[in-house]
Structure formats: structure tokens, C-alpha cells
């Protein structure tokens, strides 16, 4: 997209389904995403996640390949130890783009980036594991008071389901859909609050609700071109997400550059 003098907003869709997004956007069911595609550009990316489960997000954060940034799986080999180690702080072998920008004097705000953690020397706003579905760190922020201020302003994240507690049990589709729609709204509220309060030049937020929807709301009808355009639980979540993207874009201002990535 052409460079502008406004803010840059990056919105991540964790496990977002690009095929569905494109089909629904072209059909007019996702008007804000349709507008972004028509006014900007669209492309398909290959992903290292096809071989190394969680490596893709750190690749986006660092611009480095998995062998450089060092994050491959939720549980991965522990050098010098027998067995494995869970994802934890200090794993990255490369700085994130927000740390590089911060060092260059650009104010950044990062919100719920999966498999990320506080970095020493980063001075911007950073909130992690607030509205994520699978927690690997306790929810927190940098500076530490920021997450408490968020909860006070917007309330706690409302999803109420946690991957590590669910196991392989199915969830009620109607209840899960309602929870996800409410959670998307809460993430949009929190993102707009963070952007306004921090005055960030670069904002990065990730919606994890698409990850949950991909696990629990998928149905065979979504594989049928005609059927997927009808109302469905999955579509309800993506329509709410489209509205959330619109709210964030409007909050960023007319000169903002908006990037949506899955």
C-alpha cells in the first residue's frame, strides 16, 4: 500500500481462514474487508506453520526464519536438557519489529500477539495473554499497570473458555458463537482504548476468536460455495470481526495504513 503520513495499524487474525474471508468479502458479507481489498492489495502467503507449528507468528514479528528466531512449537526441545520446554520468555533469537521501531523512536502499541513476551529495552505499550484462547504466560503488560487500567476501562475478556482446560470435548455451537461475537466486540473496545490512550504511531493487535471458531464452528457446508454464503455460526463471527476492523480503522483515522494478516 502507498505510504501515508498517518498511523499504521496491523490486525492479525489467528487461524483466520483466507478462503472464507475472500469469498465472503467478494459477496459483500464483509464490507470493510471488501473495501480494504479493493482500495489496497491482496496476496496469499506461504507459511512455515505447515512444518513448524507455531513458527509463523514469530516469523511475522521478527522478519526472520524459524532457524533464526528459534520458536518452532508450543513444546519444543530444550538445549542442554532431556525432554522439552514450554513456550516461555527469552526464546526469541531476533528482536521483534516493534522493538526495532521503538529503538528508532516510533511509539508502538502491541496487543495479544500470540507467542510473544516482554522484551528488555522495549519502551512502548505491550499487553499479552489478555484475550487469548490458550494461555502460555500469565496475562500481563509492559508497563505492568497497563493491563489493570485496561480491565478497569473495558472489563475482563469475556470468552470464558480456555484451551488448556477443554481437552477434546466439543462445545455447544450456539453458546460458543455468542461468546465469540461478544469477545470480538470486547477486543475491538480494548484495541480502540489502547490506541487512543497510547498515541501509538504503530498499533498491532491480534484477534484469537478466529482460532476458536476454526476448531468449534467448522461445518461441511462451509466447503460448498453457495451454502457458505448463507447465515452460519462461522459467518456470524467473521461479520462481527469485519465490524471490529471497521471500528479500529475509523479510530486510527482516514490517513492510516491498515494491514490485515492471518
DSSP string, 10-35: EEEETT--HHHHHHHHHTTSSHHHHH
CA–CA dist 208, 180 (Å, integer): 9
Going by C-alpha positions, the residue among 214, 206, 220 that lies closest to residue 248 is 206
Question: For residue 47, what is its C-alpha cell?
Answer: 507459511
pLDDT category at 49 given cuts 50, 70, 90 is confident
pLDDT the model gives residue 188: 98
Going by C-alpha positions, the residue among 115, 124, 111, 186 that lies closest to residue 153 is 186
pLDDT the model gives residue 48: 83
Percent residues over pLDDT 90 in the chain = 63
CB 9 within 8 A of CB 206: no
φ, ψ of residue 255 to 5 degrees: the values are -95, 5
Q: What is the pTM of this model?
A: 0.91
pLDDT category at 61 given cuts 50, 70, 90 is very high
pLDDT the model gives residue 93: 80
CA–CA dist 227, 98 (Å, integer): 41
Instruction: List all residues 6 or more positions away from 25 whose beta carbon is below 8 Å from its beta carbon.
Output: 33, 34, 37
CB 119 within 8 A of CB 96: yes
Higher-pLDDT residue of 52, 17: 17
CA–CA dist 56, 60 (Å, integer): 6
pLDDT beyond 90 at 70:
no
The β-bridge partners of 205 are 11, 111
Question: For residue 204, what is its C-alpha cell?
Answer: 498491532
Percent residues over pLDDT 70 in the chain = 97
Sign of the C-alpha dihedral computed for residues 238, 243, 247 and 249 taken in this order: positive
Q: Where are the beta strands (DSSP E) in the chain?
A: 8-13, 75-77, 84-86, 108-111, 125-128, 140-142, 202-207, 257-261
pLDDT beyond 70 at 84:
yes
**Tens of pLDDT along 131-187?**
988 877 889 999 999 999 999 999 999 998 888 777 777 889 999 999 999 999 999
pLDDT category at 87 given cuts 50, 70, 90 is low
pLDDT category at 208 given cuts 50, 70, 90 is very high
pLDDT the model gives residue 88: 67
pLDDT beyond 70 at 221:
yes
pLDDT the model gives residue 101: 96
Radius of gyration of the chain (CA): 18
Out of 49-53, 170-174, 200-204, 229-233, the most confident range is 200-204
Q: What is the mean pLDDT of the chain?
A: 89
**Tens of pLDDT along 88-124?**
677 778 899 999 999 999 999 999 999 888 888 999 9
Question: For residue 256, what is its C-alpha cell?
Answer: 492510516
pLDDT beyond 60 at 2:
no
Length of the chain: 262
CB 262 within 8 A of CB 60: no
Strands 75-77 and 84-86: antiparallel
pLDDT the model gives residue 1: 43
| Mean pLDDT along residues 51-71 | 85
Amino acid at each position: 500500500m502507498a505510504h501515508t503520513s498517518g498511523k499504521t495499524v496491523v490486525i492479525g487474525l489467528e487461524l483466520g481462514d483466507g478462503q472464507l474471508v475472500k469469498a465472503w468479502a467478494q459477496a459483500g458479507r464483509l464490507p470493510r474487508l471488501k473495501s480494504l481489498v479493493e482500495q489496497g492489495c491482496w496476496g496469499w502467503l506461504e507459511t512455515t506453520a505447515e512444518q513448524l507449528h507455531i513458527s509463523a507468528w514469530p516469523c511475522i514479528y521478527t522478519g526472520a526464519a524459524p532457524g533464526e528466531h528459534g520458536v518452532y512449537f508450543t513444546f519444543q526441545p530444550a538445549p542442554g536438557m532431556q525432554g522439552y520446554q514450554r513456550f516461555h520468555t527469552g526464546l526469541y533469537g531476533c528482536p521483534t519489529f516493534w522493538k526495532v521501531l521503538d529503538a528508532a523512536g516510533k511509539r508502538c502499541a502491541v496487543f495479544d500477539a500470540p507467542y510473544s513476551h516482554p522484551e528488555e529495552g522495549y519502551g512502548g505499550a505491550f499487553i499479552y495473554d489478555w484475550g487469548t484462547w490458550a494461555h502460555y504466560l500469565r496475562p500481563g503488560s509492559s508497563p505492568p499497570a497497563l493491563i489493570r487500567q485496561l480491565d478497569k476501562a473495558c472489563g475482563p475478556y469475556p470468552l470464558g473458555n480456555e484451551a488448556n482446560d477443554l481437552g477434546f470435548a466439543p462445545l455447544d455451537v450456539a453458546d460458543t458463537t455468542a461468546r465469540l461475537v461478544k469477545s470480538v466486540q470486547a477486543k475491538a473496545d480494548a484495541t480502540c482504548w489502547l490506541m487512543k490512550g497510547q498515541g501509538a504511531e504503530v498499533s498491532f493487535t491480534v484477534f484469537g476468536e478466529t482460532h476458536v471458531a476454526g476448531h468449534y464452528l467448522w461445518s461441511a457446508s462451509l466447503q460448498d460455495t453457495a451454502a457458505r454464503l448463507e447465515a452460519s455460526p462461522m459467518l456470524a463471527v467473521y461479520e462481527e470481526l469485519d465490524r471490529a476492523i471497521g471500528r479500529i480503522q475509523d479510530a486510527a483515522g482516514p490517513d492510516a495504513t491498515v494491514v490485515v494478516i492471518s
